[in-house]
Structure 1
Amino acid sequence: MVDLPPLREVIARHGLSASKALGQNFLFDEQLLDRIAAVPGSLEGKRVLEIGPGPGGLTRALLRAGADVTAIEMDRRCLPALSELTMAFPDRLRVIEGDALKLDHNELMGGEPFAILSNLPYNVGTALFTRWMGGELWPPQWTSLTLMFQQEVAQRIVAKPGMSAYGRLAVLAQWRAQARLAMKVHRSAFTPPPKVMSAIIHVEPGIMPKGVSARVLERVTEAAFGQRRKMLRQSLKGVPGALGALEALGLDTQRRAETLEVSDFVAIARKLS
């Protein structure tokens, strides 16, 4: 086991502070970080992609768990602290400076399977999640997602029909994958403490329903939940063939989107695909 200086000491030495503009909040509790790294199971010898490692708190936990880590960081202030980790783990940590939203993650990981674990910066978390969950290629190259979000966003990902949090994110996360709330993280665990609570969600890819286009499903859910207080006959009238699909499936057009099961949206998309 590599003997590393305390993370607080590293941050102080490099004069680092969490950037509000970049949605940063630092975690120092190593036991908590080890628990997060343990959510997907054993990482020994596995390839992991981390987005926004900051000074490297979770990165340390991933390396302790035996993972080979590729970390994407756009905050140049954090690179010297991360380079110390690279020197401590010369064959197991690769740091890439760049914007994760603009990089091809599959290409970066060499076309091989990899897990994604990240304390996502709040300002890009949802955009990255929808990107990983979208697209026609399934199963994806990633084998699991273990991600920290604001608790409100995490609840939207795992919500069930009829719940106020149920919407596009829930359908996107659940129609061909299994998503669960793995653990909650109190705001006091962070430096500086955010105004909201956080939570870890864990997603594993499932079976792709036959005859369904992801693009069509995304279009249907976008229209349905874009006007969620309206009946489906109103919210889906702009999607060609959608009202006919509802009728063919025996779904009442006077219902609202939040009352439909994920399987109902899949059936609608299948009719339109």
Structure 2
Amino acid sequence: MNQIDTLPPLREVIATHGLVARKALGQNFLLDLNLTARIARVAGDLSDMDVLEVGPGPGGLTRGLLAEGARRVLAIEKDARCLPALAEIAAAYPGRLQVIEGDALAVDPLAHLTPPIAVCANLPYNVGTELLVRWLTPAEWPPFWSTLTLMFQKEVAERIVAQPGSKAYGRLALLAQWRTDARIALTLPPGAFSPPPKVHSAVVHLKALPEPRFPAQAKILERVVATAFNQRRKMLRASLKGLGPDIEDRLNSVGIPPTERAEQVSLEAFCALARTFEKDRR
């Protein structure tokens, strides 16, 4: 029998500890332990990995990660009400779960983790995208993590894997696909959560590439992409004019029509454009 079977059902845990989900914290609890186990399996073989989990709540996914064999889990939880429930899980898995009370945006997980490291989390809706961008834009690459397995609103998940020409394609897709292989692994209906959100959710799996897919300096690429999509309905010769008076020449030099709009431009082309600005810094 798995140790997970010795712990009470999540609904009982929530009732015992009075864990009513709080909208202000972006909380929507996933109660089906079969689903949390499936999400843990999406992350792959965790037996030789430390796992970072953000926003564990009552610990449904935490239990899944431990039961599926994670070497060790570091769970960062902002809501102190959840700590007693997480302590019960830690007692069931001695030495394998560390819980830190705090804001994931302020905690340095590397002080508590040993590589290789996977990140697996049902992210609070209100900080999910910000955390993802941070993990995709470290000062050095490869990052501290090998994979990210993350729950988002389905709309955000679709933005991560979007292709040129689609309305969902933008800065998030380019940041993710430049340095990772990204795919949607699982879609979940509102009814899978308590309370049910108003939208569907999806699990995205991102595997870090050893180096970016195309050469470019990160800060320059991020600036070019952010500028282009800040006015995504404008032609690039207009939306990017603030980057330099010769922007049309630069666009033409890498084969991007100046009349193109940002959502039509491939990742490879954006990287080529970013490289034209690198030459200015030499």
TM-score, scaled to structure 1: 0.96
Counterpart in 2 of 1:64?
A: 67
For residues 91 and 42 of structure 2, the distance between their equivalents in structure 1, rounded to whole angstroms, comes to 27
Counterpart in 2 of 1:205?
A: 208
**Which residue of 250, 257, 262 maps to 1:252?**
257
8 Å CA contact 2:48, 2:116 repeated in 1: no
Counterpart in 1 of 2:153?
A: 150
Q: Does 1:137 align with 2:140?
A: yes
Counterpart in 1 of 2:83?
A: 79
Counterpart in 2 of 1:217?
A: 221
8 Å CA contact 1:236, 1:243 repeated in 2: no
8 Å CA contact 2:29, 2:194 repeated in 1: yes
For residues 107 and 240 of structure 2, the distance between their equivalents in structure 1, rounded to whole angstroms, comes to 34
Q: Does 1:127 align with 2:133?
A: no
For residues 210 and 233 of structure 1, the distance between their equivalents in structure 2, rounded to whole angstroms, comes to 23
8 Å CA contact 1:136, 1:213 repeated in 2: no
What are the Cα deviations for residues 167-211 of structure 1, in whole angstroms up to 9, with x where unaligned?
000000101211101110111100000000000000011132565
8 Å CA contact 1:16, 1:78 repeated in 2: yes
For residues 257 and 105 of structure 2, the distance between their equivalents in structure 1, rounded to whole angstroms, comes to 39
Q: CA deviation at 1:243?
A: 4.0
Matched residue pairs, number? 272
8 Å CA contact 1:118, 1:147 repeated in 2: yes
- The secondary structure found in structure 2 opposite 1:116 is strand
TM-score, scaled to structure 2: 0.93
Q: CA deviation at 1:7?
A: 1.2
Counterpart in 2 of 1:12?
A: 15
- The secondary structure found in structure 1 opposite 2:242 is coil
What are the Cα deviations for residues 16-55 of structure 1, in whole angstroms up to 9, with x where unaligned?
1111000000111111111100002111232100000001
For residues 271 and 215 of structure 1, the distance between their equivalents in structure 2, rounded to whole angstroms, comes to 13
Decide whether aligned partners of structure 1 residues 136 and 272 sit closer, same or farther in structure 2, where only a CA change above 3 A counts. farther
For residues 242 and 170 of structure 1, the distance between their equivalents in structure 2, rounded to whole angstroms, comes to 23
For residues 195 and 242 of structure 1, the distance between their equivalents in structure 2, rounded to whole angstroms, comes to 43
Counterpart in 2 of 1:101?
A: 105
For residues 147 and 231 of structure 1, the distance between their equivalents in structure 2, rounded to whole angstroms, comes to 34
For residues 252 and 97 of structure 1, the distance between their equivalents in structure 2, rounded to whole angstroms, comes to 51
Counterpart in 2 of 1:263?
A: 268
Single out whichever of 210-219 and 127-136 deviates more from structure 2.
Answer: 210-219
- Counterpart of 1:238 in structure 2: which amino acid? G
For residues 188 and 137 of structure 1, the distance between their equivalents in structure 2, rounded to whole angstroms, comes to 40
What are the Cα deviations for residues 81-114 of structure 1, in whole angstroms up to 9, with x where unaligned?
111111111210000111001122333325x220
8 Å CA contact 1:135, 1:214 repeated in 2: no
Counterpart in 2 of 1:232?
A: 236
- The secondary structure found in structure 2 opposite 1:142 is coil
8 Å CA contact 1:136, 1:215 repeated in 2: no
